[in-house]
Structure 1
């Protein structure tokens, strides 16, 4: 692993010798990447990319046989106030039917249907496969509503819900981008007290995100882009991009303050912080690679986008950042914000972190027990997590089409959750298949879980080899009884009715797909955790040459993940702080979020861990004992870690304010976990554990007797601190 140490130094030396080439090459790369996004349209995921289990096989079979249900829209008609006038409803439905039938993309309009107590009516519209958007249909619905002021005429369906969600995602992402930049810049001003120093990390993080979004467009033809991938790129890119620059810039300024020239300070920063950036960046990438084990279009797309932005940010930090620092020189500390500059300059090593560390280092066993008790206590609720796919209940209810879809499902249960039974058999057996499916439908409706539907629910392909039965489920998608209904259909109802046919059959539909996807996530979660922990062990073992440090790193990562899962369960599944965060608890966690939080959190927490442990090792290698090395190493890095955590928490908190519940879950889980990771774990549990490990994990050498040359200040100031610490003792 010696190349990890040599690469940042060599990159810094080249950049320092050719600063304009490095800077020009970086901005040319960013411009080229952004141009790709303009010229190359991204390839989005399709329904086929999300197929899994029996529901996936059913979807593929229906598509191949031409029985896949085309997209549809539904128009709900209710009274604006008082009782519903049947004559007015009939007139409005006739107007809708006449105009919708002539609209482009409409294949058929079904007759008006009333609910059980005749308080609502529904007109369903079947669209052609090539229907692209529902704008024209929405305008028709709005005009009919305007012509019938006594009625509420509202539309929702496949196209309009997708359009409403896409618009909200775009608006949320734009808001996150607009807010995250000034917030991050403000935090950097508080850290550095100078405008240029504050702007450099934000500039590199922003350009890294822009370049990644550009590169993601052509890459989407290999890995189709999931709708939330850009949110993930912004989330991870701003966090790691600012952190990496912060680590590097802080060390360079520290060395200049000790008397080193700009070139020497940049080289020392490359040798120390640059090494930490490379190790932690590779750890983040390795952790995110664990998402590929989870399979599925969502994880593959999110992992690809996140890995790409981490790689771009890492390259920027060890190449163009040294060039910028060399060209800026001491101008990096200009223009100064007077009050902030004085505060940041006076904030020394003997600050709050030193006071907190004193009892931790003095009583490590007690501190370790208290820290572990607090972290484990927050982690325990994770054992009660319930996972489920996103549903209407998790979508923002202030989107009109989402609210309308929920009302339609409530008034017309047959329009809600559905199960689809697909049978493939020779054409000669089709009459027997259809008869058995109708018997299955009757048996299912006789149970409390299924409800009857209008018309014949059995359809057959043109070649008579594939037959489909549609069953309506009484309960909402997120209701646990819906999963029970699918399980009963698969294990008893369908086998009793169809096994005697000797034909192949599968159970699909949205409800079955939700169950299959959730089950796959639960099955693969232990494998992803194992992969991430194993990689952490290997990478930390190679980086620090100590199996005890590697095991400690893996244990702390698991602790951070447990805290994140426990907090997400308490907030989003149990509904604590729901009003403050402006959401309604669905009673579960969206199934893909914990896996993504696991991979992202382990990777990001390694930033702090590598940075802190690397500094502790520097002191230990110079001859300090474990207690002194831990005290000085963590005190030196506490300010940087706190600043980096503040950036991450602020970025994640912005996503916690987004309206999509999955983004809110991810933002809250990561923000709380990073906050506790940077405080409880890095200032209490880690130092106490390192003190108890003693000198064993470190390769110690005798402190240098002679004064190091001025051009190699990496040892001289630290050796002086060794003497100061020994005298203080």
Structure 2
């Protein structure tokens, strides 16, 4: 039976006097606990107003944005959209291929006419270019390409591809195959496959999540509290994304990551506060007083944790890629709303529930204390034998981190799209009938005066298989567009060398673009910004930990161990996705690299999650050190108080992330495994082993701070007087 509040005096009574000297969060908790109806009504209004927009999310969020703003390739695309009938990288290519007839055959011509009619009926399609001999009709004459120019921005062209690809596919006959392909169709297929895979993975993770929640909280009522925070935060954040999308395009991936982080952080924060509230309620017997103590201690840690997550993700905004930025925006919105709900709605609900928070408790569940005897015993063992466990954990982490030195990244190849999707089948037809490099056609924009010199360089360049005649802009703007076929597949690293050579050798005003080059430019921007983003995250993370913990050494230890867990996760990512280990078991074909956005975006996500656990553990350690001045009690007390929270929260996150490993598309699989491994290593090897060992070895020095620094920093205390 539950021993939740056995013997607690006056557990249903109102607190006769307000707690003495509460901090700002304690005062907030005292107010919310005493104004349950107002807080609940306020959140109902927020959720109702913003949540009303949430159902529109899949239709209004964008599917493109995978570009480097201001890059040379984007400039070429914009020129092609304005001056060349939309013959840009975002144009839709429709492949019409006959098994036995020439493109000039009446039956094939009839299908081409139907394709043309379908394209012309869509207002987002600009100039429709029929098949041209020597250019878009294959050498055997049986395959032709109809080009639907882009008359809309890249996001709308992805939506156009979504609307057109199936009607175009239905124009196929027994002899003629019709498939839409090109960058816009590829992104449509890519987003659809990944969205479906992520939704399936999230559905699969729910039973495991619910089971872990019930075990971790020990009662059904308490286990429902994270879901309350998740639903409130998610409805508000998704509705906000819809509203923001009317101002600037937002990637549909932002919604997926918002859901993931809303669930993960809702569980983390609720665990930390509920466990602390139960113990405080059992001691005092008064609801509001228990809420005040909880908010002054665990609430402060949650606030700092949320700020570190937001700061880590804000650094991603330095990357000039709209899709990457808006994914970070989606996560930040979910974190902000879940954090707000945790600091206002949760204490109000806890104050209302009182001892009922322990209702329907599991047998033999102790809900009257925060300390776990098992984790306390583990802390004592680490204190007695720090090197035995610390060296082993460090050796495992270093061994897993070493492979990161050989990590390669690139933008995803066509392999990330399912084999039966239109873009991949059309890609294969183009490659089969027009050449290996034909799907990655280069577009070179040059002033009319430099066309001859540009063509001369292209025809003699290594890595270029064919050059089409230059096309002058019909509006007399003085630009010409030249298309060149590379000799290698668009995902072949050799294409990078070809593009780099062309940019060095072509006339000064000539610009090299095309869908494949946009990917290369995006990867270069990601690589260029990665050191800056990582550096900013590390510095800001250290500053926040320094403010929270008031001690430079322990703040540095927190950041360094986070970095070690991140390196180990990427090392595992390299072994699996680049080298192909476990590829048969996981059911994917390795690309020979990790997707290009991984180092920046995954690093920010991993570091944000790691900081979450770091703040929980070290804030508990600081609280015990403030009370006792004893490093041993700080380490053992932190593990006893926070070890169960870290363990349970990590178990939920690992379960959620690893379900993405079951997805068919490669990007969700990469994300799930890299993030899942990161959480696994960070929670179980670093927070529960290596960091406590480092606190043991550094002793009082870990908590020392020079007098000048104490004068500069704002005073932050975690102990509750």
| TM-score after normalising by structure 1 | 0.85
Q: Cα gap change, 1:488/1:358 in structure 2, threshold over 3 Å: closer, same or farther?
A: same
Counterpart for residue 625 of structure 2: 620
Counterpart for residue 690 of structure 1: 695
* Map 1:706-717 → 2, pairs under 5 A: none
How big is the shift at 1:442?
A: 2.0
Q: Cα gap change, 1:75/1:651 in structure 2, threshold over 3 Å: closer, same or farther?
A: same
Residue deviations 1:319-371 (CA, integer Å, cap 9, x gap): 110111111122222223xxx43367799956553454444211223433332
Is 1:408 the counterpart of 2:430 in the alignment?
yes
Cα RMSD (Å): 3.0
Counterpart for residue 31 of structure 2: 14
Counterpart for residue 230 of structure 1: 255
2: CA distance between counterparts of 1:484 and 1:128?
A: 29
**1:392–1:406 Cα contact (<8 Å) kept:** no
**1:190–1:344 Cα contact (<8 Å) kept:** no
Counterpart for residue 551 of structure 1: 556
How big is the shift at 1:672?
A: 0.8
Q: Secondary structure at the match of 2:337?
A: helix
1: CA distance between counterparts of 2:615 and 2:549?
A: 9
How big is the shift at 1:20?
A: 1.3
Residue deviations 1:352-400 (CA, integer Å, cap 9, x gap): 5345444421122343333222212111111111111123122233435
2: CA distance between counterparts of 1:232 and 1:256?
A: 35
Is 1:33 the counterpart of 2:46 in the alignment?
no
Q: Cα gap change, 1:295/1:48 in structure 2, threshold over 3 Å: closer, same or farther?
A: closer
Q: Secondary structure at the match of 2:251?
A: coil
Aligned with 2:117 (options 81, 102, 105): 102
2: CA distance between counterparts of 1:387 and 1:262?
A: 53
* Map 1:140-219 → 2, pairs under 5 A: 141-145=169-173, 148=174, 152-157=177-182, 160-219=185-244
Is 1:567 the counterpart of 2:580 in the alignment?
no
Q: How many residues get paired?
A: 670
* Map 1:248-263 → 2, pairs under 5 A: 248-258=273-283, 260-263=285-288
1: CA distance between counterparts of 2:71 and 2:309?
A: 30
More deviation, 62-71/206-215: 62-71
**1:420–1:470 Cα contact (<8 Å) kept:** yes
Aligned with 1:246 (options 263, 268, 271): 271
* Map 1:410-449 → 2, pairs under 5 A: 410-413=432-435, 415-424=438-447, 430=448, 432-444=449-461, 447=462, 449=463
How big is the shift at 1:7?
A: 3.1
More deviation, 480-489/400-409: 400-409
* Map 1:275-294 → 2, pairs under 5 A: 275-294=300-319
**2:183–2:515 Cα contact (<8 Å) kept:** no
Is 1:582 the counterpart of 2:587 in the alignment?
yes
1: CA distance between counterparts of 2:474 and 2:453?
A: 16
More deviation, 11-20/37-46: 37-46
**2:569–2:678 Cα contact (<8 Å) kept:** yes
Aligned with 1:300 (options 298, 307, 325): 325
How big is the shift at 1:636?
A: 2.2
How big is the shift at 1:558?
A: 0.9
**2:315–2:537 Cα contact (<8 Å) kept:** yes
Q: Secondary structure at the match of 1:290?
A: helix
How big is the shift at 1:300?
A: 1.9
Q: Cα gap change, 1:160/1:235 in structure 2, threshold over 3 Å: closer, same or farther?
A: same
Counterpart for residue 83 of structure 2: 65
Q: Cα gap change, 1:328/1:123 in structure 2, threshold over 3 Å: closer, same or farther?
A: same
1: CA distance between counterparts of 2:205 and 2:357?
A: 22
**2:103–2:109 Cα contact (<8 Å) kept:** no
Aligned with 1:473 (options 471, 477, 486): 486
Q: Which runs of no fewer than 5 residues in structure 1 stay unpaired?
A: 80-84, 425-429, 701-713, 717-729
Aligned with 1:597 (options 597, 602, 611): 602
Q: Cα gap change, 1:348/1:463 in structure 2, threshold over 3 Å: closer, same or farther?
A: closer
How big is the shift at 1:470?
A: 1.1
Is 1:328 the counterpart of 2:353 in the alignment?
yes
1: CA distance between counterparts of 2:103 and 2:249?
A: 47
Q: Cα gap change, 1:407/1:372 in structure 2, threshold over 3 Å: closer, same or farther?
A: farther
| TM-score after normalising by structure 2 | 0.86
Q: Secondary structure at the match of 1:167?
A: helix
How big is the shift at 1:679?
A: 0.7
1: CA distance between counterparts of 2:520 and 2:64?
A: 19
2: CA distance between counterparts of 1:348 and 1:22?
A: 27
Is 1:271 the counterpart of 2:296 in the alignment?
yes
Q: Secondary structure at the match of 2:363?
A: helix
Counterpart for residue 74 of structure 1: 94
Q: Cα gap change, 1:52/1:679 in structure 2, threshold over 3 Å: closer, same or farther?
A: same
Q: Secondary structure at the match of 1:504?
A: coil
Counterpart for residue 708 of structure 1: none
1: CA distance between counterparts of 2:70 and 2:547?
A: 38
